[in-house]
Each structure stands twice: as C-alpha cells, then as structure tokens.
Amino acid sequence: MIDIRLTARRALSATAALAITVSFGPGAARAQAAVDETAPVAALDQALDRIQQKDSGAFDARMQTLAPVIDQTYDLEAVLRSSIGAARYMQLSDQEKQTLLATFRQYTVARYLSNFKRGSGARFTLAPGSRPSPIGGEKIVTTHIGSEDNMPGTEVDYVVRPEAGSWKIVDVLLEGHISQAAAQRADFGSTLASGGVNGLVDVLNRKVKSFSED
C-alpha cells in the first residue's frame, strides 16, 4: 500500500506559485465565466490515474502521456518564476529562460511519474466548485488523494488563475497552507547563486534521471 500522505507531499515539488493580480476586460471576463475553474485539476487527476495503471507503459511512455496534460493545466513559466524569485528571473537572458523552462518542464513531469508509479493505487476525488484565494482573480480548487481503504485521503489544494479564457494551475498547497513555492525557491536560489543557470539545469537533469530509475 502506498503512503498517500507522503505521495501528496512529494507531489508538491511539481509546482509553485507567483502571486500577481490579473485584470480582464468585460469580454474576457464573460468568456472566462463559461469555463469551469475545476477543469485543470480534473484533467490532471485523470492523467495521474492513467499513468499509475499497470498497463501504462515504461517511464518514457508515461511521460508522453502526462507531459501534454501538464502543458495544458499548468502555467509552468509562472511556477518557474516563483520558484527562483521574480527579480532573479527577470535578470535572466531569453535563452537562459527558455533552457531553464524546458528543463523545469521535464523535472515537473518526472516528479509526478515518480510520485504516482505504476500500480500505486491512488484514488482522486475532486471537490465541487472552488473558493476564493487571497490573491485577486485566483481561486482554490480542492482534490483528495487517497486509497481504497483510506478515503477521502489527503487534501491537496490547487491555486488556479484565469488566463486567456481558461484556468491554469499556479500553486499547490498541502493542508491548506503549505506551498512548495517558498521551499523550492530556497533550493533553487542557493543552486543559482553557486552555479548559475547551468548549475540549476544540471541539478534538475540529475533529478529527472533519478526519477526515471525509481
């Protein structure tokens, strides 16, 4: 049996948040209202359920299944920006941002694959609706990760933000308040300070390799 609480805590490393307020005109607001803010979390839960099935294939096949869903449901650039700090991120060149974002995407997907291995048996229960986030324009959507004999399981809250007519995940909270952003920012910040972008890319690539060998 998997340790659901440990799995949920480790899954936090797949995301972080940048707190900014997004403003929309009336037309964009009307279009946004037609989109359910729970949609990205529902899509992610469904994808995580697929990659843990026993017939989901080897690591590379499972990555091909999950990666497009991560692209669809997350604002990965906002997650990365928050993870290294907005001021530091703005100092990077365009090439450095592109390189780091591509590596961070691989890391995010691989982390999920490691957390939800084939046959792990996690079950996902999405709560209806959402609640307001302290950050203007954002909302919090709750899902529970449990097992057959441990339901509803551990609560995981996703912070979602409206972007161009859809909603994107920009943060993940455990127990309602534990954000990965601060912890990840500390980890990434120290690596960037000592090794620069290349150093952080190397660290993330090593983690991806480690996840693929779990």
For residue 7, pLDDT over 60 is answered with: no
Domain that holds residue 163: 4-212
Tokens representing 201?
A: 């890319």
Q: How far apart are CA 140 and CA 173, in angstroms?
A: 9
Using pLDDT thresholds of 50, 70 and 90, give the confidence band for residue 188.
very high
As a dihedral over the C-alpha atoms of residue 3, residue 184, residue 51, residue 125, rounded to 10 degrees, the angle is 60
**Domain count within the chain:** 1
Tokens representing 123?
A: 């079950």
What are the tens digits of pLDDT across the range 35-59? 699 999 999 999 999 999 999 999 9
* Residues counted in the chain: 214
Q: Cβ(161)–Cβ(136) under 8 Å?
A: no
Mean pLDDT of the chain, nearest integer: 85
Which residue's structure tokens are 């869903």?
Answer: 69
Which residue's structure tokens are 């949609």?
Answer: 39
What residues pair up with 192 in beta bridges, in sequence order?
none
What are the tens digits of pLDDT across the range 101-113? 999 999 999 999 9
Give the domain CATH number at 74: 3.10.450.710
Q: Cβ(144)–Cβ(74) under 8 Å?
A: no
Q: Which helix (H) or strand (E) holds 116?
A: none
Q: Which residue has the higher pLDDT, 185 or 41?
A: 41
Of the candidates 190, 187, 205, 164, which has an alpha carbon nearest to the alpha carbon of residue 12? 187
